Amino acid sequence: MTDRLTNLKFFIRTFGCQMNESDSERIAGILRQAGAVKADRAEEGDILIVNTCAVRNKSEEKLYSYLGRLSRLKREKPVQVGVTGCVAQLRGSELLKKKFDIDFILGPDTYGQLPHIIKKGLAEKYISTSWSKDWQETPPDLILRESSVSAYVTIMEGCNNFCAYCIVPFTRGREKCRPLRSVLAEVSILADRGYKEIQLLGQNVNSYRDPDSGRGFAELLEEVSSIDGIAWVRFLTSHPKNFGLEIGEVMARTKKICRQLHLPLQSGSTAILKKMKRGYTKDDYLDKVAWLRQLMPEISLSTDIIVGFPGESAKDFKETLDVMESVRFANIFSFRYSPRPLTEASALKDDVPFEIKTQRLEEAQRLQRKIQIENHRLQVGRVMPVLCLGKGKKTPQLYAGRNEGYQVVNFHSEKDCREKFVDVRITSCGPYSLSGERIDSR
C-alpha cells in the first residue's frame, strides 16, 4: 500500500446504531492497515473522524455540537477532521457551510478512499458520497473489532421500504445483500478466533436474499448456527411486515439463536401505522407477538416507539401505551418524531406541539420503566448464563455482561471471567439491569 499513515494516530467518535459501530470498526481497520495507530482520546489524535447517524434530528444536533469541540481543538494543533456515515451522505457540501473546519466528508460506500485522502493532505475540502450498486466486500482481517468475544457481521445494507418518516433509503441506499458464502466465511474465521457471539446486521435482515442462490434469511440463520464454536447468534433489525413464520420456526428449533428479538412497533395505532407506511396493522403486530411467544414462551422482545407523528391524537397515543402494556417489552427505544429531509412525512404538517411530544415521550418511558422493573423482579432467584463483556474499574470483583435476552447483568466474581460464559444467580434488580453472583457451575 502506497498511502502509508505511519506515525499518525486516529480517533473515531461514533453516533448511532450497531451498523454505525460496525462501520467504525471497518474504518479503524482501514486506517490501521495503512499504518495509523488508534488513539484513546480526540486530544491524542492526528486524524479525527466523526461517524454519524441521520435517523433523528437530535443525532445531527449532537454531531454539530461535537464538531464545534473539534474545531476548537484544531486551532490548537494540526489535525485532519472528517465526517463519515449517514449525515455525510445526506448533507454533503452543506456541512461545509456550517463553519466547522472539516477536511473531508465521506458517505458509507467510500471509506476505502481514506488512506489516500489523509496521506495527500488535500488543500481543498474533499467530498465523496457516491453509491455502489454492488456489494463491497471487506476482508474480515481488515476489521478492527472493539470486542474479542462478540462480533458484528454485516449481511446486507440499505432498505427498500420507504417508511414515511425514515431517511435510511436516502442515506444507506437501496437493499444490497452480501453473498452467503462470504457471511459464512467470516463467521467461521471468528469462530476459529474464539468469538462466542455473532450479531448479524442489516437495515432489514428479514428481506435478505443471497445474490448467488436466492436463499433467504431463515436459511442463512440455519447455516450460521451450524458453525462450530459460536454459542449465540443474534440479528437486527427486523421489519414486522417481513418477519415470516419460517424465521420464527428456525429460531424456535435452533438452540444457538438467542430467544431475543428487536421488532420495531413505532406506533400502536393502526391509523398512524398506515400514515407511516409501515405495511402492517396493530393486530398484525400483536398476532406475530402471540405466535412468537407460542413458539418460544421465554422470548425477550424489544422495540422502537415514535411519539408525536403528524396527526397522532391522544387516542392514537393511548393505543401505543396499550400495546406496551400487552406485549411487556424487555426494552424500548423511544423518540419524539422529528421531520427528516427527503422523507414523505416531511411534507406533512408537524402538528403535534413539542410540549405534547415531550409529555407523551415521558409517559411512555415511565410506563416502560415500570414494566421493566416488574419483568426484572421475576428474574430474581434464577440462575442464567451470562456472556461476560468486561469488569468494573473501581470494584475489581464486579463484572458486566448480557444474558440471552440481551439484558445487562452486573455480577460479582472472585475469578477473572472476562470474555467467558458464566452462570449467574440473580439476587436483585433495577429498571435497567440485573445484579447477581457468579456460581461455580462451569
pLDDT (0 to 100) of residue 176: 96
Helix (H, G, I), strand (E, B) or coil at 216: strand
Which of 163, 165, 164, 160 lies closest to 206 in space, CA to CA? 160
AA letter at 393: K
**Enclosing domain of residue 89:** 9-128
Q: Are 100 and 223 within one domain?
A: no
Q: Are 301 and 345 within one domain?
A: yes
Q: Are 259 and 123 within one domain?
A: no
316-354 pLDDT, tens digit per residue, is 999 999 999 999 999 999 999 999 999 999 999 999 999
Q: What is the mean pLDDT of residues 23-43?
A: 95
Distance CA 4, CA 249 (A): 49
pLDDT (0 to 100) of residue 395: 81
172-184 pLDDT, tens digit per residue, is 999 999 999 999 9
Angle at 378 between CA 375 and CA 379, to 5 degrees: 100
Q: Are 363 and 416 within one domain?
A: no
Query: Of residues 4 and 74, which shows the higher confidence score?
Result: 74
Q: Are 294 and 339 within one domain?
A: yes
Q: Are 432 and 306 within one domain?
A: no
AA letter at 403: N
The set of residues, in sequence order, having a beta carbon less than 8 Å from that of 373 and lying 6+ positions away, is: 429, 430, 431
Residue 310 pLDDT > 80 = yes
Q: Are 372 and 402 within one domain?
A: no
**Sheet of strand 197-201: strand arrangement:** 150-154, 197-201, 232-236
Which of 86, 84, 80 lies closest to 102 in space, CA to CA? 80
In a domain, 73, yes or no: yes
Q: Are 210 and 231 within one domain?
A: yes
Looking at the chain, the whole-number percentage of residues with pLDDT higher than 90 is 85
Among 95, 128, 161, identify where a domain stops. Answer: 128
CB 47 within 8 A of CB 82: yes
Which of 152, 112, 114 lies closest to 136 in space, CA to CA? 112
Residue 389 pLDDT > 60 = yes
pLDDT (0 to 100) of residue 123: 61
Q: Residues 205-210: contacts with CB within 8 Å, 24+ apart?
A: 205/155, 205/156, 205/235, 205/236, 205/237, 205/238, 206/238, 206/239, 206/242, 206/243, 206/244, 206/247, 207/156, 207/160, 207/175, 207/239, 207/242, 208/155, 208/156, 208/177, 209/177, 210/177, 210/179, 210/180
Instruction: Give the least confident one: 48-57, 116-125, 217-226, 299-308.
Output: 116-125
pLDDT (0 to 100) of residue 99: 77
In a domain, 85, yes or no: yes
Which stretch of DSSP H or E encloses residue 144? none
pLDDT (0 to 100) of residue 1: 45
In a domain, 3, yes or no: no
Which stretch of DSSP H or E encloses residue 333? strand 331-336
What is the signed CA dihedral for 331, 20, 62, 175, rounded to 10 degrees?
A: -90
Q: Look up the CATH number of the domain holding residue 434.
A: 2.40.50.140
Among 87, 106, 128, identify where a domain stops. Answer: 128
80-118 pLDDT, tens digit per residue, is 999 999 999 999 889 988 878 899 999 999 998 898 888
Q: Helical H runs in 201-242?
A: 217-225
Q: Look up the CATH number of the domain holding residue 195.
A: 3.80.30.20
Q: Are 209 and 305 within one domain?
A: yes
Q: Are 349 and 241 within one domain?
A: yes
The set of residues, in sequence order, having a beta carbon less than 8 Å from that of 389 and lying 6+ positions away, is: 147, 149, 150, 400, 401, 402, 418, 419
Residue 402 pLDDT > 80 = yes
**Residue whose C-alpha cell is 393502526:** 270
How many Cβ atoms sit within 10 Å of the Cβ of residue 352? 20
pLDDT (0 to 100) of residue 3: 64
Among 377, 404, 428, identify where a domain stops. Answer: 377
Which of 315, 318, 286, 316 lies closest to 303 in space, CA to CA? 286
In a domain, 4, yes or no: no
Per-residue confidence band for 58, with pLDDT thresholds at 50, 70 and 90 = confident
Q: Are 45 and 166 within one domain?
A: no
AA letter at 9: K
Helix (H, G, I), strand (E, B) or coil at 300: strand
In a domain, 238, yes or no: yes
In a domain, 133, yes or no: no
Q: What is the mean pLDDT of residues 3-10?
A: 86
CB 150 within 8 A of CB 389: yes
Q: What is the mean pLDDT of residues 383-392?
A: 93
pLDDT (0 to 100) of residue 122: 62
Per-residue confidence band for 413, with pLDDT thresholds at 50, 70 and 90 = very high
In a domain, 134, yes or no: no
pLDDT (0 to 100) of residue 304: 98
Query: Of residues 356 and 129, which shows the higher confidence score?
Result: 356
Distance CA 396, CA 394 (A): 6
Q: What is the mean pLDDT of residues 41-64?
A: 92
231-290 pLDDT, tens digit per residue, is 999 999 999 999 999 999 999 999 999 999 999 999 999 999 999 999 999 999 999 999
Q: Are 295 and 199 within one domain?
A: yes
Parallel, antiparallel, or unpaired: how do β-strands 9-14 and 47-52 relate? parallel
The set of residues, in sequence order, having a beta carbon less than 8 Å from that of 407 and lying 6+ positions away, is: 300, 330, 331, 376, 379, 433, 434
Per DSSP, the residues of 20-57 read HHHHHHHHHHHHHHTT-EE-SSGGG-SEEEEEE--SSH
Q: Number of structural domains, the chain?
A: 3
In a domain, 135, yes or no: no
Q: Look up the CATH number of the domain holding residue 113.
A: 3.40.50.12160
Q: What is the mean pLDDT of the chain?
A: 94
Residue 417 pLDDT > 90 = yes
Residue 294 pLDDT > 80 = yes
Q: What share of the chain is helix, strand, coil (3-state, %, to 5)?
A: 40, 25, 40
